[in-house]
Structure 1
Amino acid sequence: MTSAVAHKAQASDIATQIMHAMRSMGVAAIPRNYQLFYEAYIGTNPALTRELSLFALRAPRQEELDALAASHLGHNGAALVERAQSRLQGELDALLTLLRQEHASLETYNRLLGETASRISAKSTLSVDLLRNVIDILAAATDETLANGEKTAEGVAHHSQEMEEVRRELDEYKRIANTDSLTRLANRRAFDERLAAIYDEPMQLPVTALVLADIDNFKRINDTHGHPVGDKILASVGAIIRSSLARDMFVARTGGEEFAVILEHKTPEEVMAICERIRRALESRPFRNSRTGVDYGPVTASIGFAMGSQAADPGELYVRSDIALYCAKHGGKNRTVLFEDGMRKEYSGKGWLIYQQ
């Protein structure tokens, strides 16, 4: 099975699980509900997952689901797309009407030219009055046709601008849909797409790495200080990771307290150096409440990574990076580990991984 086929099969399996969960809860299988359940499934928004689980004993009403989406996703994506599609369809219809009118105007003008040519050809002699009449008719028809053409050009320009605005709205929706609302990093959806694209360029695999970083003892932080504090720490960790990387490096929050970085054109030694820079930045950063002075203790992260050439497809690369992360956790935490083949024996895998094999 090729990597592209494997990726599609895995994505299809996720979709099947989400649709099954929606059906079992009596939820309508419409795009905006699927998006809500997808976000809950991948775990990037723990609060959403918790609130959605409260409906396990009864079917939620659509307005309740829409309220959850507005609260946790920060936008009504389906409504935005529907509105944009409606506007786009309206602009296309108006543009087609203009073009049809222009086509009809040109046909009328061409028919007039043909009829005039026939009248002239039928006359053996041409009088001054006939020529003046013909010239007047053609001049008026030409002026009208040119005026219609100008109106059509203005209309086309106007509707083109409107369609460009719709395109910008859709681009903005795509950006929002691919952004984690808590950390403002790329989310799991964007990460899935980027990870799959790694294997589109086989020659780059030896210098491409997938890095997974997981906050150490995060459950204890949540249990001790509460989820609002945990959310603030997640946002801070995301900002520290982002600031430790070049602007063109891809970083995402992939679920819960896990982050992913995709590094390109880097040797394993360079990847290790970047990971260590992230790790040291986190362990040296104080995490305390500036208002109350409460110290939340040191926040560290375990990091694991694998090179693209160490795996046959995106799924295997994810698993091997996660194996390295597992070894970093079980080797004492707050450390960076590069995947090696001998690590496989100790690894059992996480059940929630999208790329689980």
Structure 2
Amino acid sequence: MNTATAQKAQIPDIAGQITYAMRTMGVAPIPRNYELFYEAYIGSNPALSRDLAALGNRATQEELDAISSQHSLHHQTKAIETAHTKIIGELDGLLRLLKQEQTSLDSYNRLLGETYNRITNKNNNSADLLRNAITLLSEATDDTMAHGEKTVESVVRKSQEMDQVRRELDEYKRIANTDSLTRLANRRAFDERLIAIYDTPITLAVTGLVVIDIDHFKRINDTYGHPVGDKILATVASVIRGSLRKDVFVARIGGEEFAVIIDGNTEEEVMQQCERLRRGLEATPFKNSKTGVNYGPVTISLGICMASAASDPGELYSKADIALYSAKNAGRNRSMVFEDGMTKDFQKSWLIYKR
């Protein structure tokens, strides 16, 4: 089964679960509702998931839109659409400018031809005719050059305006691909990056996927509350980011689950980095400086799989997740590389983000 086929084969399973949940709640199957349920499904925003669950079995569209607005799901899409409209407008204006410049140049070329014919015509040899032709040509040249300068200025201005819109689009995309709590890449960005791994087959042997899960995180939330849990999530994210090279891709892909994609390293080197990260987090204090309450120690389990050990993104994610499960089953607070024979009672699915 090739990559595209494997990806398509997995999508209906998750899409079916989300659609079933929407149908159970009597929710209209429209794109913005699917996005809302998708974000709740992957668990990257626990508050959103709680708010959605609190609506019960018969949520109104107004209530769903209110939750989407509260958690800023759709404003980025609208901003991107606005920026897209601006770019179309700027391009249309630029095209009109260039057409006007072309018309001006065409007129000037015709004038050059007519003047040349007048000057070279043996029947038109009077000094007045020559003088008038040269004067006309000089004035036309000055006008054309002045018009060209204005056109250049307009083109430069519009180019600057389009560059500003491009920067806005880049910022919108960055925001859309960033987890608001941890400031890491989010699941949407992870899906894109995971797919891209298999665009370059030659690097598969030195590309590793690491799936990370905070040990006993539910206990932390239940004991200290979600605000403390969110602070611990942010701190764990900071430690993960700070323990790895700047070019290493790090994302939060679920409630307390993270993913790391390490390029240019062997399996042994990936394991070394994971162990350095794990030990660093284990030694990090998690203490409230005001109350003195100690929330730690906080530890993580890590599952590793090299891209060369899988045939497509879905299999790579599944094997790294199985390795993570094995690490937890072996006692947590450890790193394990996927090996043939490892099994898991269930497998979480991987899904390309669908709007």
- Give TM-score, length-normalised by structure 1: 0.90
Q: How does 1:142-291 map to 2 (within 5 A)?
A: 142-291=141-290
- Between stretches 50-59 and 192-201, larger displacement belongs to 50-59
Alignment match, 1:350: 347
SS of equivalent to 1:213 = strand
Question: Partners of 2:125 and 2:13 in 1: how far apart?
Answer: 82
CA contact (8 A) 1:7 1:196 kept: no
CA contact (8 A) 2:249 2:260 kept: yes
Question: Partners of 2:129 and 2:17 in 1: how far apart?
Answer: 81
Alignment match, 1:316: 315
Which consecutive segments of 4 or more residues in structure 1 shift more than 6 A? Answer: none
Q: 1:86 to 1:16 in 2, by over 3 A?
A: farther
Q: 1:56 to 1:103 in 2, by over 3 A?
A: farther
CA contact (8 A) 2:278 2:300 kept: yes
Question: Partners of 1:15 and 1:94 in 2: how far apart?
Answer: 42
The percent identity for this pair of structures is 61
Matched, 1:102 2:115: no
Q: 1:36 to 1:29 in 2, by over 3 A?
A: same
Question: Partners of 1:85 and 1:322 in 2: how far apart?
Answer: 38
Question: Partners of 1:108 and 1:15 in 2: how far apart?
Answer: 60
CA contact (8 A) 2:209 2:306 kept: yes
SS of equivalent to 2:260 = strand
Equivalent AA in structure 2 for residue 349 of structure 1: F
Post-superposition shift, 1:75? 7.5
SS of equivalent to 1:57 = coil
SS of equivalent to 1:214 = strand
Post-superposition shift, 1:242? 0.8
Q: 1:351 to 1:318 in 2, by over 3 A?
A: closer
Question: Partners of 1:84 and 1:139 in 2: how far apart?
Answer: 44
Let me know the Cα RMSD of the aligned residues.
2.4
Equivalent AA in structure 2 for residue 178 of structure 1: N
Equivalent AA in structure 2 for residue 350 of structure 1: Q
Question: Partners of 1:14 and 1:135 in 2: how far apart?
Answer: 77
Alignment match, 1:29: 30
- Between stretches 250-259 and 51-60, larger displacement belongs to 51-60
- Give TM-score, length-normalised by structure 2: 0.90
Q: 1:353 to 1:2 in 2, by over 3 A?
A: closer
SS of equivalent to 1:343 = coil
SS of equivalent to 1:7 = helix
Q: 1:239 to 1:125 in 2, by over 3 A?
A: closer
Equivalent AA in structure 1 for residue 246 of structure 2: R
Post-superposition shift, 1:117? 3.4
CA contact (8 A) 2:214 2:256 kept: yes
Equivalent AA in structure 1 for residue 288 of structure 2: N
Equivalent AA in structure 1 for residue 49 of structure 2: T
Q: 1:243 to 1:67 in 2, by over 3 A?
A: same
Alignment match, 2:340: 341
Q: 1:74 to 1:19 in 2, by over 3 A?
A: closer
CA contact (8 A) 1:74 1:181 kept: no
Alignment match, 2:130: 131
CA contact (8 A) 2:318 2:347 kept: no
Question: Partners of 1:9 and 1:169 in 2: how far apart?
Answer: 36
Number of aligned residue pairs: give it: 351
Question: Partners of 1:60 and 1:178 in 2: how far apart?
Answer: 28
CA contact (8 A) 1:222 1:230 kept: yes
Post-superposition shift, 1:111? 2.3
CA contact (8 A) 2:87 2:165 kept: yes
CA contact (8 A) 1:307 1:317 kept: yes
- Between stretches 50-59 and 310-319, larger displacement belongs to 50-59
Q: How does 1:59-74 map to 2 (within 5 A)?
A: 59-62=59-62, 64-73=63-72
CA contact (8 A) 1:279 1:334 kept: yes
Residue by residue over 1:313-354, the C-alpha shift from the partner in whole angstroms, topping out at 9 and shown as x without a partner, is 11111111111111111111111111111212xx12234543
Alignment match, 1:58: 58
Question: Partners of 2:127 and 2:325 in 1: how far apart?
Answer: 99
Structure 1: stretches of 5+ with no match in the other structure: none
Question: Partners of 1:207 and 1:94 in 2: how far apart?
Answer: 48
Post-superposition shift, 1:119? 3.8
Q: 1:352 to 1:327 in 2, by over 3 A?
A: same
SS of equivalent to 2:179 = coil
Alignment match, 1:42: 42
Structure 2: stretches of 5+ with no match in the other structure: none
Question: Partners of 2:115 and 2:59 in 1: how far apart?
Answer: 74
